[in-house]
Structure 1
Amino acid sequence: VRMSNIFAPLALFCERTSAAGCARFFENVAQVLCGTLAVNALNEHEGVASALLFAGKALVCRVASTSYAAHDVVEQLTAAGLTLETAREVLAAVELVVLPRLCELRQAQAHAASRRSEAWLVDFDWQLQLILSSSTHTKLREPVVNLDFSCRLAGGLTDVRETVELTAADLDLMLQACNAAKRAVESVSVSGSSSS
């Protein structure tokens, strides 16, 4: 899913809804993200569809992110079908909601992300192997890295073993993703500690 398409449900909603109604919707979305409002409270917005709720959450989180750039978001909103003027008005309404509770939103999203998995890494091992024949790989004589992870579910007593086989290109992509995740965690940690 391209980022510009995420905001597509907002085009029709913002076209049919008053500026005050849009502002109230984004206020409620921010409260849902912070955990101070139940999702079913959004039903006052004409039975908010899940795609619209997802788009609203994505926009609020985008404005709350450390990499927020208003001109990029305006471009994405216009690509999703909003007029330039409406995109700017919507973004201004979201900023009014987000900026006063920026730290709270970032902290809530960091907690939500950390709750996505209840398992934790107990141990890992790796091996470098050369593929001589395989039913799953098209290239033979290709080096692969086997990563063996031992994970334990919260409250569990036994470990679950998972094996991941990566080619050199896959390993590079995984390391880049891990590096990006590390930077994201560090930025949340830095912004959280500077606000305290």
Structure 2
Amino acid sequence: MSTVASSHLHLLRRCSADNIQQFIHGVADDWCSRGSPRYQDYGKVWPIVEWKDAVEAGRQLVSVSIGKSKSKEEIVALLSEAGVEDDVAQAAASALEARRDDVLRALKANSATISRSHLKDFDWRVQLMMSSDKLASVRKPVVSVDLSLDGHSGPQKVALELDKEELKQMIQSLENANRVVQQLKS
């Protein structure tokens, strides 16, 4: 766990078992873009100056515990090292176990959106270039690829014209990217 998060884990020891479960569910909801825990619900647990650090510690705990597939015992041990009481640590680990699938889906979706754009559709065609303004006869096959990208700035169209070698390189790059995506999914 990062030094920032581990230095703030001690803030979680102020929670009761019920509060920690509600807090962990709120942080998990934040990871899943369903809303985040509200200070109004935890004002009696943490003062406003510690609220941001407590939420960050919760986010890091959820991320590391679920992202690194920590067992319930490892989560309890991690929280115990930070001085969190055993019943509170057990309650937090139970809440993390309950939200594991939701947060994993959100973490994978988040990692899939690393790029600002993603491929929505493509079209291709093969053409035989017979000549150019510089050469009378070329007779070279060329592939025209039109990519439809979808991103934060809206849809985009990209047109590529590739010779045989460039096409092989593009296919190899796409296969490598697909391998990485499949590894992330598993």
TM-score, scaled to structure 2 = 0.52
The counterpart of 1:98, out of the listed 96, 99, 102, is 96
Q: Does 1:82 align with 2:83?
A: yes
* Distance apart, 1:72 and its partner CA: 4.5
- Matching residue of 1:148: none
Bigger radius of gyration, 1 or 2? 2
Alpha-carbon distance in structure 1 between the residues aligned to 2:3 and 2:71: 14
Alpha-carbon distance in structure 1 between the residues aligned to 2:32 and 2:108: 11
- Matching residue of 1:3: 2
- Matching residue of 1:27: 25
Query: What amino acid is the match of 1:54?
Result: E
Task: Write the mapping of 1:5-154 to structure 2, written as runs, cut at 5 A.
Answer: 5-14=4-13, 16-36=14-34, 38-39=35-36, 41-46=38-43, 47=48, 49-70=51-72, 72-79=74-81, 81-82=82-83, 86=85, 88-119=86-117, 154=151
SS of residue matched to 1:49: helix
Q: Cα RMSD between the aligned structures? A: 3.6
* Distance apart, 1:75 and its partner CA: 4.9
* Distance apart, 1:118 and its partner CA: 0.4
Give per-residue Cα distances to partners, 1:85-125, cap 9 Å, x unaligned.
Answer: x2x4344223322323322211111112333430469xxxx
Give structure 1 regions of 4+ aligned residues with deviation exceeding 6 angstroms: none
Alpha-carbon distance in structure 2 between the residues aligned to 1:82 and 1:62: 18
Query: What amino acid is the match of 2:110?
Result: A
Report the identity percentage: 18
SS of residue matched to 1:7: helix
Query: What amino acid is the match of 2:41?
Result: E
Q: 1:13 to 1:65 in 2, by over 3 A?
A: closer
Please tell me whether the aligned partners of residues 72 and 93 of structure 2 are also in contact (alpha carbons under 8 angstroms): no
Please tell me whether the aligned partners of residues 66 and 100 of structure 2 are also in contact (alpha carbons under 8 angstroms): yes
SS of residue matched to 1:26: helix
TM-score, scaled to structure 1 = 0.50
Q: 1:74 to 1:19 in 2, by over 3 A?
A: closer
Please tell me whether the aligned partners of residues 4 and 76 of structure 1 are also in contact (alpha carbons under 8 angstroms): no
Give per-residue Cα distances to partners, 1:138-178, cap 9 Å, x unaligned.
Answer: xxxxxxxxxxxxxx9934568xxxxxxxxxxxxxxxxxxxx
Alpha-carbon distance in structure 2 between the residues aligned to 1:30 and 1:105: 6
Q: 1:7 to 1:99 in 2, by over 3 A?
A: same
Structure 1: tracts of 5 or more residues without a match: 122-151, 159-181, 191-196
